[in-house]
């Protein structure tokens, strides 16, 4: 039992990060914190992909003499793209938060809601 947990510790981290990020998005009323939650959530997926690429006794995927077993480079390449996507999402999200702050002079969800209602 302990072995299962220890052998797959990377996946446990993934799950922990995923859940904490997801929980932050859902529970937080502060728009910046929500973005932070999304970021943590996405980071867990990056880790998941990187873990997939791991090969037992593998070396970094560089062709050189004497090395025949190497890690799968494809997930890493994929996740680079996903990271770029994540960064742009964060940038756009933060830009929106700035605009919201200008328009509502607050970034708390409930206060924004009240202001919209009072109109």
Partner 1 sequence: MIEQNLSLLLVIIPLLSAPVTAILPNARSAWLLTLAVTWTCLILAGWQITLVTDGSIISYELGGWSPPWGIEYRIDAMNAFVALIVSGIAAITLPYALLSVEKEIPLEKIPLFYSAFQLCLVGLLGIAQTGDVFNLFVFLEISSLSSYALIAMGEQRRSLTAAYQYLIMGTIGATFLLIGIGLIYAETGTLNMLDLNQRLQPILDHRTVHTGFAFIVVGIALKLALFPLHLWLPNAYKYAPSVISVFLAATATKVAVYIMLRMVFGVFSDEFVRKTPTDHMFLLLGAFGVIMASATAIYQRDVKRLFAYSSIAQVSYIVLGIGLSSVLGVTAALVHVFNHALMKGALFMACGALVYRLGSSRFENLNGVGRQMPWTCVAIFIASLSLIGIPGTAGFISKWYFVLAALEQESWPIALVILLGSLLAVGYVWKIVELLFLRPASDSTATVGEAPAALLVPMWLLVIANIYFGFNTELTVNVADTAARMLGLGMNHE
Residues that bind partner 1 (CB under 8 A): 22, 25, 31, 34, 38, 41-42, 45, 48-49, 52, 75, 78, 81-82, 85, 88-89, 92-93, 96-97, 99-100, 103-104, 112, 116
- To 10 degrees, the CA torsion angle through 37, 39, 40, 44? 140
Which residue, 70 or 104, is less far from partner 1 as judged by CB? 104
Interatomic CA distance for residues 47 and 9, integer angstroms: 12
CB-nearer residue toward partner 1: 5 or 91: 91
Residue 103 beta carbon to partner 1: minimum distance, rounded to whole angstroms: 4
Q: Is 57 or 102 the residue whose CB approaches partner 1 more closely? A: 102
Rounded to 5°, the CA angle 107-111-114 comes to 140
Please say whether the beta carbons of 55 and 70 come within 8 A. Answer: yes
């Amino acid at each position: 039992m302990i072995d299962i947990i220890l052998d797959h510790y990377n996946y446990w981290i993934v799950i922990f990060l995923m859940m904490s990020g997801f929980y932050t998005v859902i529970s937080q009323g502060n728009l910046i914190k929500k973005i932070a939650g999304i970021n943590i959530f996405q980071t867990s997926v990056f880790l998941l992909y990187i873990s997939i690429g791991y090969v037992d006794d593998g070396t970094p995927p560089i062709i050189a003499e004497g090395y025949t077993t190497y890690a799968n480079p494809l997930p890493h390449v994929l996740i680079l793209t996903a990271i770029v996507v994540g960064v742009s999402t964060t940038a756009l999200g933060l830009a929106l938060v700035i605009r919201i702050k200008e328009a509502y002079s607050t970034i708390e969800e409930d206060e924004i809601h009240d202001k919209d209602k009072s109109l």
